[in-house]
Each structure stands twice: as C-alpha cells, then as structure tokens.
Amino acid sequence: MPEVVPPPPSDRPIIAFFDVDNTLMRGASVYYVGREAFRRGLISWRDIALFGWHQFRFLAVGENRDHLSTAKERALGLVSGHTETALIDMANEMYERDFAPKLWPETVALTQAHLEKGHEVWLITATPQLVAQVIADRLGLTGAIGTRVEALDGVFTGTLDGHVIHGDEKAAVALKFAQERQADLAECWAYSDSSNDIPLLSLTGNRVVVNADAKLLAHALTHGWEVLPLKRASIREAQRRVKREARAVRRKK
C-alpha cells in the first residue's frame, strides 16, 4: 500500500467542529443542567421528571426537535436572575461530577489529534454557551459556540440571545464563524451523531458521523461520509487519518 504523503501546511485556519451531546459525551448535557437546578431548589419535581424523560428518550432513540426545543428553553429559563459568575462556578461543579464521567474518551482523543495538527477545535452545540465553554476550557479546546442567554449587568434575564444552536441554525452559525476566520471549509472537519446536524456536516470537506442515529447513518452511507463507531480500533484509525491526511496549519512565529 503506497504511503500517504500529508498535504503541505496551510496558512489559513482549519476548524474541527464537534457536537457535544452523544458525540463528545453520552446523553444530553441539558439534562444535567436541569438536575443541578433541582439540587439548588430552582425547579420542581415535575420539571426534573420532564428532564429525566428527555434524557431517557434521547439515549434510546436520539434527538426529537420538539422535545429538544422544550428541554433547551426550560434549561435556559433556569438561569434567569443568576449572575454569570455564579453559573460559571455551577458549570465547573457540574463538569467534575456530571460531564467528565460521561465523556467518550475516544472522541476526546480525536479533539487532541486535531489540536496537534494546529487546528482550532470548537464545540458547537445547543447547550448553553456558558456550560459549553466550561467543557471546552476543561478539555483544553479552542472554544465553544453554544446557545446564548441575554445578560444585563452580568445577570441573566432568561431570554434567548438569538436562536437555539440547532439544525439549520447551527450550520448558519458555523458558516458565518468560518468565514469570519477566513477558514477554508473544504479543509475543515465536523463530527456529530445526529441527523439534525446534516446541514453542519454538509458544510465541511471532512464529515465524520460518530455513534450515528439511524437517519444520519443512512445519509452518511448514501453520500460516502466517514462512519465512526465508538470502538477502539475505529477511533485509532480515525486518529491515524487525521495525522496522515489532514492538512496541518503553519505555526505563526
């Protein structure tokens, strides 16, 4: 088999976009936001039961647009009246207790493979921006693009600042983000488990479906996209592909 020679380094940024829920970690991150809010007395038993139902359904059959919107909007509403500082502290507590044990080590390893190539690694998710940024910071990633909540004088109002970062909206945000950074989308990468992210995956030249739902798997197989089961052998091969085929970014002096 002939040796694959990596392409020469790029002078432009290369971005690897990673979805969070069921791609980087098992389950829906917003569920843990709801559970923490219950612990702190911010929501009722009825609310936590609803969050639990969404989590169970998500693990069983994947995302549902209506259920996702309801869960996200409830979670975003929980922050109303709380300061950004207090919620960053809460998110860091949640990371240690709730998020870290649910991370897929295999997908986290892929984020590191991209960083080693000089790529920017951005989480892109419907999860609240503040929570997503904590996950990115704790993993040493470049940053996070999440759903934003309006804040006045450092206090959240509970009103969405823009739209939930999901589906077509996620793709639109990623496109604008890449254009602002003058990244060549043909050289960029996207990782997701959900058919809702087909618009995002379609933007980039390197699409990788991880732990895919049935609709996304069918789409990926039809279009010849890379399908990545969460198995050690598959992940090792994916890491080798990034190392072997991905264009590196020239380090700035």
> Domain of 159: which CATH number?
3.40.50.1000
- In the residue annotation, 153 being an active-site residue is answered as no
Taking the C-alpha atoms of residue 13 and residue 20, their distance in angstroms, rounded to an integer, is 22
Q: Which of 11, 21, 153, 168 is catalytic?
A: 21
As for how many domains the chain has, the answer is 1
- In the residue annotation, 47 being an active-site residue is answered as no
The DSSP element (H or E) to which 222 belongs, if any, is helix 214-223
Count of Cβ atoms closer than 10 Å to residue 8 Cβ: 9
- Considering the domain boundaries, does residue 217 fall inside one? yes
Pairing of strands 120-128, 15-18: parallel
Per-residue pLDDT at 170: 94
Of 11-15, 149-153, 171-175, minimum mean pLDDT range: 149-153
Taking the C-alpha atoms of residue 134 and residue 94, their distance in angstroms, rounded to an integer, is 10
- Considering the domain boundaries, does residue 194 fall inside one? yes
Residue holding tokens 């639990």?
52
Q: Within a 13 Å sphere around the CA of 7, how many CA atoms are in the beta-carbon half?
A: 11
One-letter amino acid at 41 equals G
Per-residue pLDDT at 253: 54
Q: What is the pLDDT of residues 8-50, one digit of tens each?
A: 788 899 999 999 988 999 887 877 776 776 676 655 445 544 4
> Bigger pLDDT: 176 or 156?
176
Which residues on adjacent β-strands are paired with residue 70?
Answer: none
Range of the domain at 36: 15-245
Smallest CA-to-CA distance from 102 within 211, 22, 220 is with 22
Backbone torsions φ then ψ of 40, nearest 5 degrees: -90, 5
- Considering the domain boundaries, does residue 193 fall inside one? yes
Pairing of strands 155-160, 226-228: unpaired
- Considering the domain boundaries, does residue 251 fall inside one? no
- Considering the domain boundaries, does residue 208 fall inside one? yes
DSSP state, 247? Answer: P
- Considering the domain boundaries, does residue 6 fall inside one? no
The DSSP element (H or E) to which 227 belongs, if any, is strand 226-228
Q: Which of 19, 98, 193, 213 is catalytic?
A: 19
- Considering the domain boundaries, does residue 7 fall inside one? no
Q: pLDDT averaged over the chain?
A: 80
Q: What is the pLDDT of residues 66-106, one digit of tens each?
A: 545 554 555 555 556 667 787 788 889 889 998 999 998 88
Q: What is the pLDDT of residues 194-208, one digit of tens each?
A: 999 999 999 999 999
Q: What is the pLDDT of residues 212-233, one digit of tens each?
A: 999 999 999 999 999 987 766 6
Per-residue pLDDT at 76: 53
Taking the C-alpha atoms of residue 244 and residue 55, their distance in angstroms, rounded to an integer, is 37
Work out the angle between the directed axes of helices 45-61 and 29-39 (0-180°, nearest 10).
160
